[in-house]
Structure 1
């Protein structure tokens, strides 16, 4: 590898680096179509990025020996590669074999935890390389494996690269045999690949043009060989050590929410020693993984079918400005958001809540009476967050809606909006009201992709237009005519949702409601009353309290 290759690829756009001075380029990639990245041929370029190969290991000393023997024969420069093996409590403890990469460390898992996710977090914290390559301790990789994945990281700094693999029944091989075969390019002769079991994800990768046309490419990022920048790892929050099965998919979902692009490289070949667990006991594996993903990956709509449930990560965040509105109006807007056809919604009420001190203050004549009533209505509600401002980043929530309090959502408004934004594959849906106001439904991954690419002074919506597209639609598409009745349902049962099992799945748009918005008069206070006047029932209660105080 002596020939130098332009690390920006061909047709790269955007700022040269996150801070505008040196570092990796950030070409504009639309959706997951990484075609603007032109990788150099293997062996015909000069790498410069250091990589840390993190291997979580629990027992299996012989398999680890074979993994390290293959790593010792890589074409990637040895001075740019370190290996961190994390012993996750093996008994007896693991040891480093004689055949291993020059810079290899064996460390114990950090105190206070266990499991694959915990071990990877330990290794990533100790890693010195700019890139983290996660590799299972029962993988034998070809000699170009690390090089093939690393070449993409030299082209853009927000890619996640995925290696190829097949499964073979373990065969008697020594570290010396593995090292020699990998070093000499005889990878195919090392194992009987005619009986190998292909990875199910590779069929998906081929069907979706190398994931270029994939709507949710994180699905195939299943862990045994995957690499990402340490900065991206930190931005996603690392692995969730509470997830004991499916930790790779859950982490890949959060990587997607940061705006990452997923690039599989089938030249990064590998053999996984042993058959996939799914072939041994599919039903049990699915049952064990399902609750972890149901709680943390909202796009898995098929795992959230029980009515009345609340989930760790909601599907949609609804942001409403509470200040300046009467408590009944805010309460109606929150009730509409939480009572719609989408069950897993969280509401963020924005107001200067820290202004409401707990010390002695006027009660009935408090200038902040309405805000205090809103606070007391929702401070104990798990579905409502009181915040001085919406969080800058909605992740890991995949959708954020921001709209006027004066126009409560219809029962199916969010459902129809999400269906439309998915059908259009847009990153932003702008809802236009007749009076000139707008509401927004944002895709979190698109917003964060735009933030990665936007330069100083760039309009974020304009960048979203380039990476995912911006779609505009009149509000009448999402609110039925005022005369339209809600769908009839059996008492005590919610109306069935038509959201597809996975939001990435194509679906026909429902018949769009047309006609005017619900009467704006319904949103206004009674004639002659100030905007913050309480309704008649509330006024009667206040008068009753005052009469009692006068006794």
Structure 2
């Protein structure tokens, strides 16, 4: 592990227990932190926020504050009480909104750590220090602060500064009547997110920090997402492989009650279409049949260098399965087709050119010269031989299986045809963040690798032991990324002992955040010819996956 934690064991899923942060006030910070505060109007609230930041325990010479004025009229100004290195910048003219403002500030940041803080969040004196200490341990943590909602009191910046400096938010706010955050309830139910299946749910933006390279690697916030931009950003962070760490010592109060208290139904409806297109794990938002979404649920990768017939059959099977939320990537030397001016009938790449034209106008099919290291933000990737087309519900079966214990990879033995692999993007992202040369081994350590046989995922189809047809070779996913074939994954399923937290989670039942992202969340395709006993088994497995 890089970032000062090379001697630590790998973090399994989101169980960051191997990371032991230093005690507040008993360590020497080294990383510069840039606090980015997006703001529009609300000068008095901003004055209180900056007064609290001026009383932080984090060293002044390691902290800058960038207030991004997103079109306030009159323009925002710096108050008398601010941290020493504080400036106001105007958001660029090319856009507007919170996402655009945060991106503007992050682009100007000089710090190694980017801390986003909303302009209505008054933080305790250790807030920046508490979150920054995690980034000194490793470079792939996203740290999340705590918050409670209060009615904005009549206070002066001086009162806030003195109250925070003296070490108590309770001396200036009535915390006994504060409204707790629902995210903190989720954090408590999942042992500090250690057992959460979807920890990105609670990374809702008002106070969150990460290494600047992580922010830049995922492309920052999406300005096209006008509501729910923090959740969408957190989902992309999860696909990138980060570990989410909430720190309850980073206390803060939110000035004003949440928008959902005013009109919950309208607030939820406003967010839903943005997340439906961009967060495939929200299966509850993708109930419209026959729809195509901006970010698909599964990428199917196929080798397109063989005969066109089997390739076309494999593409058709992938697109016509019971799981319609799919995109197909055909891998072949397509870039060699760039040149024109040659006789068509004598073209040495005649078949490849015709195959490209056959799928050129299907938005569900795309072309690539090589397999990408990760399909992010698509949450799953399937790779398999074109000689073994996907069955009607093969993808659903595979996803249901890996979701039972959140496996990072499933490798299916297809006999002489090779192997088929389903990869979890989050696990591939973690391997890249760790700088792993052997991707499959890294996935084994952080998420686990499972092996299965063809009969489970292609029911009713006997495995052929005849030599594979031309063009039946699989394009390996993790194998391609790591430089080794998928069939070199350890021969047996990984069965690591579950942690005490996972056991307790099973005993107590899944918490609410574990139910919201239901996978696969799709209907089961009817198979009347299948024996009743086998149908019952599949239904049980799918129900188990939905509960998870």
TM-score, reference length from structure 2: 0.84
Please name the residue that 1:400 is paired with. 381
CA distance in 2, matches of 1:501, 1:416: 20
Q: Displacement, 1:74?
A: 0.5
Relative to structure 2, which stretch is displaced further, 185-194 or 316-325? 185-194
CA distance in 2, matches of 1:224, 1:39: 22
Q: Give the superposition deviation at 1:369.
A: 3.3
Q: Which string of whole-angstrom CA distances, capped at 9 and with x for unpartnered residues, describes residues 239-261 of structure 1?
A: 10111100000000111111100
Between Structure 1 and Structure 2, the one with more helix by share is 2
User: What secondary structure is seen at the aligned counterpart in 2 of 1:74?
Assistant: coil
Across the aligned residues of Structure 1 and Structure 2, the Cα RMSD in angstroms comes to: 2.0
Equivalent pair of 1:57/1:85 in contact (CA under 8 Å): yes
The question of whether the paired residues in 2 share the 8 Å contact of 1:26 and 1:157 is answered with: no
Which residue in 1 is equivalent to 2:410? Answer: 429
Unaligned runs of at least 5 residues, structure 1: 1-13, 18-22, 484-499, 514-551
Counterpart mapping for 1:189-228 below 5 A: 189-228=171-210
Asked if structure 1 preserves the Cα contact closer than 8 Å seen for 2:455 and 2:461, the reply is: no
Which residue in the other structure is 1:354 paired with?
Answer: 335
Structure 2 segments unaligned to the other structure (5+ residues): 463-514, 525-533, 539-548
Report the CA distance between 1:70 and its aligned residue: 0.3
Partner in structure 2 of residue 389 of structure 1 = 370
SS in 1 for 2:142: strand
Give the Cα–Cα distance (whole angstroms) in 2 for the partners of residues 277 and 438 of structure 1.
Answer: 50
Please state if 1:59 is matched with 2:41: yes
* 1:490-524 superposed Cα distances (whole Å, 9 cap, x missing partner): xxxxxxxxxx86246999997567xxxxxxxxxxx
Instruction: Name the counterpart of 2:137.
Output: 155
Instruction: Tell me, yes or no, if the aligned pair for 2:399 and 2:519 is still in contact at 8 Å.
Output: no
Q: Which residue of 2 aligns with 1:173?
A: 155
Assess if the C-alpha contact under 8 Å between 1:136 and 1:225 holds in 2: yes
Once the 2 structures are TM-superposed, how far is the Cα of residue 87 of structure 1 from its aligned partner?
A: 0.1
Distance verdict in 2 for CA 1:410–1:375, change over 3 Å: same
| C-alpha separation in 2, matches of 1:129 and 1:429 | 40
Describe the shift of the 1:360–1:101 C-alpha distance in structure 2 as closer, same or farther (beyond 3 A): closer
Pick closer, same or farther for the CA change 1:511–1:159 going to 2, 3 Å.
farther
How many Å separate the matches in 2 of 1:511 and 1:459? 39
Q: Is residue 249 of structure 1 aligned with residue 231 of structure 2?
A: yes
Instruction: Check conservation: 1:319, 1:402, Cα contact below 8 A.
Output: yes
Partner of 1:328: 309
Q: In structure 2, the residue corresponding to 1:435 is in which secondary structure?
A: helix
Q: Name the structure 2 match of 1:469.
A: 448
**Aligned 8 A contact 1:135 1:225 in 2:** yes
CA distance, structure 2, for counterparts of residue 61 and residue 510 of structure 1: 62
More displaced 10-residue stretch of structure 1: 446-455 or 41-50: 446-455
Matched position secondary structure for 1:215: coil
Whole-Å separation in 2 of the counterparts to 1:355 and 1:35: 49
**Residue 123 (structure 1) aligned with residue 102 (structure 2):** no
CA shift, 1:372, in A, is 2.3
Given the superposition, is the C-alpha separation of residues 26 and 67 from structure 1 closer, same or farther in structure 2, using an over 3 Å criterion? farther
Give the Cα separation in 1 of the matches to 2:49 and 2:137: 27
Between the aligned partners of 2:56 and 2:428, the Cα distance in structure 1 is 38
Displacement of 1:392 in angstroms is 2.5
Measure, in 1, the Cα distance between the counterparts of 2:188 and 2:318.
Answer: 40
Q: Do the aligned residues in 2 keep the contact of 1:416 with 1:510 (CA within 8 Å)?
A: no
Question: For residue 512 of structure 2, what is the aligned residue in structure 1?
Answer: none
**Aligned residue in 1 for 2:95:** 113
TM-score for the superposition, normalised by structure 1: 0.83
Task: Tell me how far apart the structure 1 counterparts of residues 171 and 71 of structure 2 sit (CA, whole Å).
Answer: 34
Say whether 1:293 aligns with 2:275: yes
Rounded Cα–Cα distance in structure 1 between residues aligned with 2:299 and 2:26: 48
Tell me which residue corresponds to 1:141: 123
Q: 1:251-270 residue pairs with structure 2 within 5 A?
A: 251-270=233-252
Q: Distance in 2 between matches of 1:436 and 1:336?
A: 17
Query: Structure 1, residues 404-434: CA drift from partner, whole Å, max 9, x if none?
Result: 0111101111111011111121111111112
Per-residue deviation, residues 130-170 of structure 1 (Å, max 9, x unmatched): 00000000111110111111111111110000000000111
* Residue of structure 1 in register with 2:517 after alignment: 502
Aligned length: 475
2:283–2:520 Cα contact (<8 Å) kept: no
- The residue aligned with 2:286 is 304
Quote the Cα distance in structure 1 between the aligned partners of 2:429 and 2:113. Answer: 20
For residues 281 and 211 of structure 1, the distance between their equivalents in structure 2, rounded to whole angstroms, comes to: 28
Indicate how the Cα distance of structure 1 residues 208 and 301 shifts in structure 2: closer, same or farther if over 3 A, else same.
Answer: same
Q: More deviation in 274-283 or 334-343?
A: 334-343
The verdict on how the C-alpha distance between 1:373 and 1:501 changes in structure 2, with shifts beyond 3 A counting, is farther
Residue 427 of structure 2 is aligned to residue 446 of structure 1? yes
Match of 2:32 in 1: 50
Q: 2-side partners of 1:282 and 1:366: how far apart? A: 62
Query: Structure 1 residue aligned with 2:391, among 386, 407, 410?
Result: 410
